[in-house]
Structure 1
Amino acid sequence: MNADRETNHDMTNGDIASMLAGATDEVEIGIAPYEAVIRGGRRRKARRWAVAAATALVLAGSSATLAVAGLPGGGGTVVPAATGSATPAPDLFTPARTTLATGTENGKEWWVAIDVWAAPRTEAQAAGQLEAMGEYGDAPAGGGTKASDLIGKSSYVVYFSDGDKRRKTFEDVFTKDDTMSGTDLQTASIPFAVDPDGPQRLVIGQVSKEAQQVTCTWKDGTTTKADRAPANTEIATDQPTIRPAEGSQVDWFVCLAPKGTEYKSVEVSAVR
């Protein structure tokens, strides 16, 4: 990640798919309370993000697909939205999985990925989806979600692996009222380890489709910038980049702090 990021080594699809499928290695983290910080104009509704207890969460106001079947460690092509008139029915029982970031540290591959589940329209569809989520390890934390809670909402789960194990870092749902624009920003900073203790070096966040650059500032005064990936351009997942995720209403970015420092702040530093 800029001059300070570690060099990425490719993982095979099979290796990573196995890690994602291995729910037994997953560390489930409950819904943690947090304070939302609002800056600027319109407030965006903040809901639950399942994050480690030490996580700092920020919600900023507005001032005015790289879709991979497995988790290859190299790159992919950012594909513009389809313009055809026919829209195929979404697959309600298999998530759209997108790699948000990969890298290597201490000789181990790490990655961040998101699963997005299409919105069911009926309770029967929702019940089938809830069962499928359990099989993928994507079942909502806490066990209190009813099938009816999923109707009309697309669900998402973000995973982080430090190379040994993976954990669900946060989860939520999208509704038709959830929008982001301008410099809207929602982020979580977490330790760079499955163990929730340690410096908060990893920043994962959502931004609007208008965001062109995000700047992560670390406590040692250095910064990491994530620029939007140009359309139809192959961008390796070991580069900090603003990326679309298949099925997601918002775009995503990941920043990793150099060793010896941790999260201080993050902002959308350029919009179109």
Structure 2
Amino acid sequence: MPGPGSDTVPVFIDTTKASIARVYDAFLNGKDNYEIDREVLRQVQQVAPEAATLAVDNRNFLIRATRFVASQTGITQFLDCGSGLPTSENTHQVAQRINPDVRVVYVDNDPVVLAHGRALLEENDHTHFSAADIFNPREILEDEVVRRHIDFTQPVALFQMGTLHHYNGTSPTPQEIMAEYIEALPSGSYVGLSHFFDPQTEEHSAIARRMEETFLHSPMGSGRFATLPELRGLFEGLELVEPGLVICADWWPDGPRLKQLDSVSYCIAGAVGRKP
């Protein structure tokens, strides 16, 4: 796969447009990205030097939420929408370390992610991958791979981690997308979701909006920062697990905080909710 300083291009990869998955990979200092993706990182770092913290906080929230669901809820099936590119701690690795019987279905339609997804299929018979549009709930819910490996008569863990802020459509709205997913989940299911966040404070709102402007006008072309009321609308019908909807760094952090948070840590929020 490509790496920094190496732009050997598989024929099916379009490098004239930045890829969301590859940009996140660049933010995490990964190797599966091209120059066009690294350009997005550089542009955002010009307005927020610690911008990579957004991706780090999001990944750490995913890890902690996965540990919580796998260890505390009894759920053994995860539907991870917009899985992105592999890092050292993917959903199936975190969950299956706690319970080897956990099944994980990843959904993504990025060509580079698809290549990695096929590799995952070969190494783990409890891990599956489907290429589909995560912003089209009906397509996901009726997907052959999803239906084969996710039993919707039993509780499911549905993840939308760092995905909806890249949705550029106007209809349906992000709230309507999540409402359709949540309606399809059986009682006792859990939803984990994170999103770029404008805290609407004097200290942090300006940096959130500067990053948003940079993301939207970058080669990636997406990355909206939502307000707290907008984010609450994504969890309609769910009972939020304590501590509720907070910045990702404050959702059950790993011990007492000894280091001061970067400003950008206040610009990504998340929560885990249970469907009654």
**Does the pair score TM above 0.5?**
no
TM-score, normalising length: structure 1? 0.28
Whichever structure has more strand as a proportion of its residues is 1
TM-score, normalising length: structure 2? 0.27
Whichever structure has more helix as a proportion of its residues is 2
